[in-house]
């Protein structure tokens, strides 16, 4: 029991340190000599890297950030920790990305790291949600709508896949967090107005 608790604490710490690897910040410093926290959205994530550094660095940062979340979970799985502790290890990586100790507790939004966490927990579900996101954004070109659809699909896909209660609960929490962020970022009337303006494009595709 004590050994399991110590192992869990160690992996939570490792998960946090993995998440706290400031890949986006380093890309900005090394390639452009800028501090991403002072540019654009102020985030150190891949989106802000794309806007201020370039496509290639953004892709590398995205893959690293996905890997951080996945590795934290896979390490917990490799030593036989329970589903709940695997989830906590993934959440520790998210916390490290959002509040990295090296950058004065100011990091990114952990979208890519969250994707990595779910890929580690249940990779078919993670891939399916990523596919939903890409499909919607390719049609509507609205990031908020794409994020919302993927977030709604996440707990549904977890249930369909027969995942354990820990995975389902964390996917529900993720869905609620995305909904809160979307509501904070843009009011619902604007959200549905954007959707309405893009509706004709979907109808045209369905007619083909």
List the structure tokens of 160. Answer: 């369909």
pLDDT digits (tens, 9 = 90+) for 112-158: 899 999 999 999 999 999 999 899 888 887 767 787 888 889 999 99
Average pLDDT over residues 161-186: 83
pLDDT digits (tens, 9 = 90+) for 64-122: 999 999 999 999 999 999 999 999 999 999 999 999 999 999 888 888 899 999 999 99
- What is the reported pLDDT for 207? 55
- What is the reported pLDDT for 203? 53
- What is the reported pLDDT for 195? 60
- What is the reported pLDDT for 22? 95
List the structure tokens of 192. Answer: 């549905």
List the structure tokens of 159. Answer: 């249930």
- What is the reported pLDDT for 146? 80
- Residues 70, 41: Cα–Cα separation, whole Å: 25
List the structure tokens of 34. Answer: 């800028």
- What is the reported pLDDT for 201? 55
Average pLDDT over residues 19-35: 94
Contacting residues for 17 by C-beta, under 8 A, at least 6 apart: 96
């Amino acid at each position: 029991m004590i050994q399991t608790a110590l192992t869990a604490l160690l992996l939570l710490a490792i998960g946090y340190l993995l998440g706290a690897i400031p890949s986006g910040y380093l890309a900005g410093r090394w390639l452009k000599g800028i501090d991403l926290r002072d540019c654009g959205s102020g985030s150190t994530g891949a989106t802000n890297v794309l806007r201020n550094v370039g496509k290639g660095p953004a892709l590398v940062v995205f893959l690293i950030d996905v890997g951080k979340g996945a590795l934290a979970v896979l390490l917990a799985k490799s030593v036989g920790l329970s589903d709940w502790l695997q989830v906590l290890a993934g959440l520790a990586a998210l916390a490290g990305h959002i509040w990295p100790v090296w950058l004065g507790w100011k990091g990114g939004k952990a979208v890519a790291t969250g994707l990595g966490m779910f890929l580690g927990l249940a990779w078919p579900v993670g891939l399916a949600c990523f596919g939903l996101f890409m499909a919607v954004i390719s049609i509507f070109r609205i990031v908020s709508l794409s994020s919302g659809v993927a977030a709604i699909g996440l707990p549904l896909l977890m249930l369909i896949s027969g995942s354990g209660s820990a995975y389902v609960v964390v996917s529900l929490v993720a869905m609620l967090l995305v909904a809160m962020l979307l509501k904070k970022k843009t009011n619902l009337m604007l959200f549905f107005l954007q959707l309405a303006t893009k509706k004709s494009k979907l109808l045209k595709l369905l007619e083909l």
